[in-house]
A and B are shown apart, each in its own frame.
Chain A
Amino acid sequence: MSFSRATRGVLLALTGLVLLFIHVPLALVVLNSFNVSRTFEWPPPGYTTKWWSAAVDSAGARNAIVVSVEVALVATAIALVLGTMAALALQRFRFFGRDTVSLLIILPIALPGVVTGIALANAFLTMFGIELGMLTLVVSHATFCIVTVFNNAIARLRRLGGNLEEASMDLGAGTFRTFWSVTLPMMRSALLAGALLSFALSFDEIIVTTFTAGQGIQTLPIWIYQNLFRPNQAPVVNVVAAALIVLSIIPIWLSQKLAGTDESVAAAR
């Protein structure tokens, strides 16, 4: 498509505006982590790194990060196994009620977090009689993490078709060998992208977490939420937020790199 000069100018200006709108607040968070003022005065009266050293020393923040990473890793691992298996079953076999099952798997991501949280907490406490804790938290996160893995996996399987698997079986490989040597390598980049997204979803989840984590466990979003309005802690919270912004660039960059490997999928068609 080609645009006139004026149209192009307007589009460029709009794009710039949107980018500014999104990224200026983020830049402000990073800047404020060096702000001498405890109340984030604007313009900053001076700059310091004392909040960063305070954050590194904060046991609460460190503990919360460890918990969040653990929960996200375990939930993602569960999601990878179950999501891949569900996608394979739904894509490769036809059975009665297939579309309904597909819908039921995707549903948790559309449900409001409050509803999922209440429902899971009730089920854990009354039906199963399990104390809220690490286990219930991980299982709850896995319910929506499965969706991202499932969606990525089934989209890839659809694009691949069954041709390569037929070729593998034709050459003498059984079902398991075919999955290991052909299907899984072809799905690898899709699964990694799904896992990254699933990790990110779990890492910043707060609503379901408040209902299912119980008293003893504090994930990073909950720690931030509880400390944000304490005057002494606000600068430290800000530092943690700034650090997260910088760290988030890594998975985004990775998933962009992964998108490049899709060429091999296109070539398989």
Chain B
Amino acid sequence: MSTPAVELVGLTKSFGSVTAVDGLDLRIEDGEFFSMLGPSGSGKTTVLRMIAGFELPSAGRVLLAGEDVTGRPPFARDVNTVFQDYALFPHMDVLANVEYGLRVKRVPASQRRDRAMAALESVQLGQLARRRPTQLSGGQRQRVALARALVNRPRVLLLDEPLGALDLKLRRAMQLELKDLQREVGITFVFVTHDQEEALTMSDRIAVFSEGRIEQVASPAELYESPGTAFVAGFVGTSNLLSGDAAAAVLGRTGTFSIRPEKIHLDSDVESGNTTARGTVADVVYLGSVNHYLVDLDAGPTLTVLKQNLRDSTEQAMGRRGQQVTVGWADEHVIELSGDTQQVQQSHEKEKS
């Protein structure tokens, strides 16, 4: 296997008595769009800051392209960062911001100007080169921050929730643009986000973080369709988690299981061969293109069932509150999970091999 762009070995970071990152092992391949996904406080941003060099690890090593850079300051690492709040220099215009990295590295003035303008053109901001950052919209600042980092042609680009401050529509557009840009330049992107949809949209692989550890590293489809742990099943997409007595009552098995809401069928949609259960519709949540039905099973637990609004009118859907229904699912869509550490370690092992 080729040398990974980023390799983390036993990476640990403690702040006082709090362990933010706990013995992390991770390989990020060259040219990959890699996302670190997790709730706030799960340690993903701390890992990013240790790769950039803003934080020194309490233990463990950071390798960039096989080279140990653990103790090196940020300015001696071949990575660049797009910050969450962009951190553009307000006392410089857009062009000077983009040129900054090149000027520091003493690239000749003429070449510097050309490269900076090219970087600005690549994010469609060539005409705003002489503006101040304060005169730009949030989306434009985001692009400037991207150009300022990419113009240095780093080996790895680190992105710390760069789309968090944008509105939904702009964020969707930027997601696709970022993905295109990454394919174009071929630079390894390490993208931190708490938005699972964002991670699924853009990434080649995703690491799911929880409490300073990695729960699972997998491709978006693998992560969604066969989550390794209860945490992953719950955090990536919506899940019906069944464990203990509930699992025994509904599935007749012991353990922890997940069924995705869209894999459960309702009444006439139930297919032959499906496992079925009876229940009462407790509530219907209208979500526009789809509805969520909350079904209290006679056996005990409540399942969320997703149904597309293809034929039923809204009134019909809402009218099913309190009705008796049959739900069914194919057995292959029941995912067996394990929330215990053994399973997590197994997924780590798989990652390393």
- Could you tell me which A residues sit within 8 Å of B by CB distance? 163-164, 166-174, 177, 181-182, 185-186, 263-265, 267-269
CA distance A166 to B16 in the complex (A): 22
CA distance A188 to B133 in the complex (A): 19
CA distance A264 to B79 in the complex (A): 28
Q: Are A186 and B87 in contact (CB under 8 A)?
A: no
Overall SS of chain A's interface = helix
Q: Are B83 and A163 in contact (CB under 8 A)?
A: yes
Interface residue B322 (Cβ < 8 Å from any Cβ of A):
no
Task: Given A263-B134, A267-B133, verify A171-B87 contact (CB < 8 Å).
Answer: no
Chain B residues 128 to 143 lying within 8 A of chain A, measured CB to CB, are: 133-134
Between A and B, 30 residue pairs with Cβ closer than 8 Å are A163-B87, A166-B52, A166-B74, A166-B81, A166-B83, A166-B87, A167-B88, A167-B89, A168-B89, A169-B74, A170-B54, A170-B74, A170-B149, A171-B75, A171-B104, A171-B148, A171-B149, A171-B152, A172-B75, A172-B101, A172-B104, A173-B104, A177-B104, A181-B100, A182-B89, A263-B134, A264-B134, A265-B90, A267-B90, A267-B134
- CB neighbours of B87 from chain A (8 A): 163-164, 166-167, 268
Nearest neighbor of A177 in chain B, beta-carbon distance: B104
Q: Which of under 10, 10 to 19, 20 to 34, or 35 or more describes the interface residues of B? A: 20 to 34
Q: Are B52 and A170 in contact (CB under 8 A)?
A: yes
Q: How far is the CB of B61 from chain A (nearest CB, A)?
A: 20
Chain B residues 61 to 96 lying within 8 A of chain A, measured CB to CB, are: 73-75, 79-81, 83, 85, 87-91
- CB neighbours of B52 from chain A (8 A): 166, 170
Q: Are B73 and A169 in contact (CB under 8 A)?
A: yes
- CB neighbours of A263 from chain B (8 A): 134
CA distance A173 to B74 in the complex (A): 9
Task: Given A163-B87, A264-B91, verify A174-B75 contact (CB < 8 Å).
Answer: yes
- CB neighbours of A167 from chain B (8 A): 81, 83, 87-89
Q: Nearest 3 A-B pairs (CB), nearest first? A: A171-B101, A167-B87, A169-B74
Q: Are A170 and B80 in contact (CB under 8 A)?
A: yes
B93-131 vs A: 1/0 string, CB under 8 Å?
Answer: 000000011001100000000000000000000000000
Q: How far is the CB of A185 from chain B (nearest CB, A)?
A: 5
Q: How far is the CB of B93 from chain A (nearest CB, A)?
A: 12
CA distance A111 to B310 in the complex (A): 79
Q: Are A172 and B152 in contact (CB under 8 A)?
A: yes
Nearest neighbor of A163 in chain B, beta-carbon distance: B87
CA distance A186 to B101 in the complex (A): 18
Q: How far is the CB of A40 from chain B (nearest CB, A)?
A: 51
Q: How far is the CB of A128 from chain B (nearest CB, A)?
A: 41
- CB neighbours of A267 from chain B (8 A): 90, 133-134
Q: Are A170 and B75 in contact (CB under 8 A)?
A: yes
| A172, A181, A182, A263 pick with most chain B CB within 10 angstroms | A172
Task: Given A167-B87, A268-B90, verify A172-B134 contact (CB < 8 Å).
Answer: no
Q: Are A164 and B89 in contact (CB under 8 A)?
A: yes
- CB neighbours of B53 from chain A (8 A): 169-170
CA distance A172 to B88 in the complex (A): 15
CA distance A177 to B104 in the complex (A): 8
Q: How far is the CB of B145 from chain A (nearest CB, A)?
A: 9
Q: How far is the CB of B96 from chain A (nearest CB, A)?
A: 10
- CB neighbours of B81 from chain A (8 A): 166-167, 170
Which of these, A169, A181, A185, A268, contacts B75 with CB under 8 Å?
A169
CA distance A172 to B101 in the complex (A): 6
- CB neighbours of A169 from chain B (8 A): 53, 73-75
